[in-house]
Chains A and B, each alone.
Chain A
Amino acid sequence: MYTVSKNLKLTAIILMVVGAIGLIYGFINVPSSVEEVQELIAHDDHAHDSTLNADHAHDDEHAEHVFHQLQNKPWASIYTAALFFFLLSAGALAFYAIQNAAQAGWSPVLFRVMEGIAAYVFPGGVIVFVLLVLSSLHFNHLFIWMDADVVEHDEIIANKTGYLNVPFFLIRAAIYIGGWAFFYRLFRKNSIKLDEGFDLALFKKNFKLSAGFLVFFIVTESMLSWDFIMSIDTHWFSTLFGWFVFASMFVSGITVIALVTLYLKSKGYLEEVNDSHIHDLAKFMFGISIFWEYLWFSQFLLIWYANIPEEAVYYVQRIEQYPLLFFGTFFLNFLLPLLILLNTEFKRIPWIVSLAGIIILVGHYINFYVMIMPGTVGESWSFGAAEIGSILLIGGLFLYVIFNALTKAPLVVKNYPLIKESKHFHY
């Protein structure tokens, strides 16, 4: 049995506390009135030595706009972090289900690591759900279609209310999150039961469950990405958005599996995991990074080429207001992983895989950031206490939950029919 080291537990708790402080500071720091924002802007203008402030009415409007954006900012940052870690663990769950459904022979020694990471699906989902409920209660304005005033004056959004309305939205969210958590519980229950004694029926049950889950997952994941992310930019839509988000969460999930495996191995656990297992995980990180890039570019290319205003505006805003982050994801999520993990030997060296993994995780957090922020805070974005605090808070909780889940069962499954093949896996 694995026990979490005191250091790790302490790190997770410190992360959570520091993160919570940062986030609370972010919330307190939000300007409380339009006047305060006007002062801020005026101050900024002095700094830039700009004296072209003739149009006062326009200024007021602008100040109010910025005020709303700054009000959204801490909410958007906690929402980005919560969604990123939740979907990342769901990606690990999908990877686990694929291994089961494919009856893969190489991966069973890593099953418990995957189960541990997927344990965050339920708590992470609950956090996201609570944030969505708060949005629908108008604590924030992340989703403009939830604002009756906006919908009334916007024909495009008004036409979408059959799908985008608060009750139906929350019911769908509950189905996605509840469904994934339910499947996770069943997998986990069967997997632990299999440890007690070999039973082929359990293996077959998990196989069928996995196949069923994957069908349920890809449909709900696609809808989830429309609901939770795409509907922020309510006018805009992209038909491959579900895949795009899936690639991002899937590669992040696999990366976390690799990082946790390397961590446990460095602590002397998981002796059966050899460099061939690491090699395979790194190959997945490499391959799915390319897949992500393929979708990132495909989505961009068609919209750029067709140049239909309501579609192109999505990219215009990102390129004008988030150029560094928008193009940065290309390097962090594609070019660097590609070059670092291209070499066969490098895929087996723990520190290189960890380095690539950290780059991938940072890159995909930024990917989520670039998907969520432009529609919620627009040009008023910045990396401040709220953003970093949110990452630390949710990241600390994530670490705490997954390592706690890892202690609940032996780190390697027993009696799984393919476990022997996995222990002897050698490439």
Chain B
Amino acid sequence: MASKVLNVFYTDDDILMEAIKKAQSKNYQIEEVFCPFPVHGLDKLLKVKHTRLAITSFLYGLVGITVALTMMNFIMIVDWPQNIGGKPSFSLIENLPSFIPTAFEMTVFFAAHLMVITFYMRSKLWPFKKAENPDPRTTDDHFLMQVNVGNNDIQEVAEFLHSTGAVEIDLKK
């Protein structure tokens, strides 16, 4: 039998942070926290693993600059050599300065768009997806902490959480 999970509601982010610290000191297992807005320091408190999105962004940037230079090489040098501004050198490296703006823009374009798409995929977001938060109030003015009761006495856990300033405690269905 899976252990019971409590939905604990708070109305203030500072109280929530204090409550998390207290619950952690009691070794209660916090499964997930839902907030209406990003709470500063929450990720560190919950020891959420640092995102690797920045690394993917860097790699996408490298892809972008490669695509841009390959593209410019094909368009301007190989397929249909063009003489613009008296610089018909027909060589990528000699015409490089004029391709830098394109390369820069493509780097930004690839990094930004692919990073957003990665973020959607990684957090399993897509259009018409149903919200995962257990209570709609967490999008308004309530903070929700889910605590796994485990082998503890459920009444004891609930009373402890109430003492940390919770405004409402439900059993997760």
Interface residues of A (CB under 8 A from B): 297, 300-301, 304-307, 342, 344, 426
Measured CB to CB, the closest approach of chain A to B109, in angstroms, equals 17
- A306 touching B85, Cβ below 8 Å: yes
Complex: chain A residue closest to B50, CB-CB: A344
Kindly state whether residue B117 has any CB partner on chain A within 8 Å.
Answer: no
B127: Cβ under 8 A from any A Cβ:
no
Q: Which residues of B contact A342 (CB under 8 A)?
A: 58
A307 partner, pick from B54, B85, B100, B101, beta carbons under 8 A = B85
Tell me which of B41, B54, B58, B98 contacts A305 (CB under 8 A): B98
Q: Tell me whether A304 and B86 are in contact (CB under 8 A).
A: no
User: Given the complex of chains A and B, what is the CA–CA distance between A297 and B104 in angstroms?
Assistant: 12
Least Cβ–Cβ distance between B158 and chain A, in angstroms = 33
Which chain B residues numbered 24 to 63 have a C-beta less than 8 Å away from chain A? 41, 54, 58
Contact A301 B85 (CB under 8 A): no
In the bound complex, residues from chain B placing their C-beta under 8 Å from that of A307 are 85-87
**Residue contact A300 to B97, C-beta cutoff 8 Å:** yes
In the complex, per-residue mask of B94-123: 1 if CB is within 8 Å of any chain A CB, else 0: 000110110000000000000000000000
Kindly list 4 other residue pairs between chains A and B, CB separation below 8 angstroms, not including A305-B98, A307-B85, A307-B86: A300-B97, A305-B87, A306-B85, A344-B54
* Closest partner residue, chain B, to A302 (CB atom): B97
Residues from chain A with a CB closer than 8 A to the CB of B54 are 344
What 1/0 flags go to B64-108 for Cβ under 8 Å of A? 000000000000000000000111000000000110110000000
Majority-rule SS of B interface residues: helix
Q: Which of A304, A344, A426 contacts B97 (CB 8 A)?
A: A304
* Residue of A305, A342, A344 contacting most chain B CB atoms (<10 Å): A305
Return chain A residues, CB-CB under 8 Å to B86: 307
Complex Cα distance A169/B130, Å? 70
| Chain B: interface residue total (CB-CB under 8 A) | 10
Chain B residues with CB below 8 A from A297, complex form: 97, 100
Q: Can you offer 18 A-B residue contacts whose CB atoms are under 8 A?
A: A297-B97, A297-B100, A300-B97, A301-B97, A301-B98, A301-B100, A301-B101, A304-B97, A305-B85, A305-B87, A305-B97, A305-B98, A307-B85, A307-B86, A307-B87, A342-B58, A344-B54, A426-B41
**Residue of A at shortest CB range from B55?**
A343
Q: In the bound complex, how far is the Cα of B41 from the Cα of A243, in angstroms?
A: 38
Closest to A300 in B: B97
* Chain A residues within an 8 Å CB radius of B87: 305, 307
Q: Name the residue of chain A whose CB is nearest to the CB of B54.
A: A344
Closest 9 CB pairs between A and B? A305-B85, A301-B97, A304-B97, A305-B98, A307-B86, A297-B100, A300-B97, A301-B100, A307-B85
- Name the residue on B nearest A298 (C-beta): B101
- Chain B residue at minimum C-beta to C-beta distance from A344: B54
With A and B bound together, what is the CA distance between A342 and B55 in angstroms? Answer: 11
User: What is the distance, in angstroms, from B97's C-beta to the closest C-beta of chain A?
Assistant: 5
List, in ascending order, chain B residues with CB within 8 A of A426's CB: 41
Q: Looking across the interface, which residue of chain B has its beta carbon closest to that of A305?
A: B85
Question: What distance in Å separates the Cβ of A163 from its nearest Cβ neighbour in chain B?
Answer: 31
The residue on B at minimum CB distance from A304 is B97
Within the assembled complex, what's the spacing in Å between the Cα atoms of A426 and B86? Answer: 54
Q: Could you say which residues of chain B place their CB within 8 Å of the CB of A301?
A: 97-98, 100-101
Within 8 A of A (CB), among B109-165: none
Q: How far is the CB of B108 from chain A (nearest CB, A)?
A: 12
How near does chain B come to A363, taking the closest CB pair, in angstroms?
20
A313 to B160, CA, bound (A): 78
How far is B96's CA from A297's CA once the two chains are assembled, in angstroms? 12
Q: How far is the CA of A300 from the CA of B101 in the complex (A)?
A: 13
* Min distance, Cβ B45 to any Cβ of chain A, angstroms: 13
How many Å lie between the Cα of A342 and that of B86 in the bound state? 38
CB distance from B119 to the nearest CB of A (A): 18
* Chain B residues positioned under 8 Å from A305 (CB to CB): 85, 87, 97-98
Q: How distant is B57 from chain A, measured CB to nearest CB, in Å?
A: 11
Query: What separation, in Å, do the CA atoms of A304 and B86 have in the docked complex?
Result: 11
Q: Which residue of A lies closest to B85 (CB)?
A: A305
Chain A residues near B98 (CB, 8 Å)?
A: 301, 305
Docked Cα-Cα span, A307 to B101, in Å, equals 18
CA distance A243 to B173 in the complex (A): 62
Residue of B nearest to A307 (CB): B86
Contacts of B100 in A (CB 8 A): 297, 301
Q: How far is the CA of A345 from the CA of B87 in the complex (A)?
A: 44
* Min CB–CB distance B83 → chain A (angstroms): 13
Closest to B86 in A: A307
Taken together as a complex, chains A and B put the C-alpha atoms of A61 and B101 apart, in Å, by 44
* Residue of B with least CB distance to A306: B85
CB distance from B102 to the nearest CB of A (A): 12
Instruction: Report the minimum CB–CB distance from B114 to chain A (whole Å).
Output: 18
- Give every chain A residue within 8 A of B85 (Cβ-Cβ): 305-307
CB distance from B88 to the nearest CB of A (A): 13
Chain A contacts for B97, CB-based, 8 A = 297, 300-301, 304-305
> How many angstroms from the CA of A297 to the CA of B86 in the assembled complex?
20
Min CB–CB distance B25 → chain A (angstroms)? 21
> Which chain A residues border B41 with CB–CB below 8 Å?
426
Shortest C-beta distance, A400 to chain B (Å), equals 42
Residues of A close to B58: CB separation below 8 A: 342
Minimum CB–CB distance from B115 to chain A (whole Å) comes to: 15
Nearest B residue to A342 by beta-carbon distance?
A: B58
Alpha-carbon separation in the docked complex, A426 to B58 (Å): 26
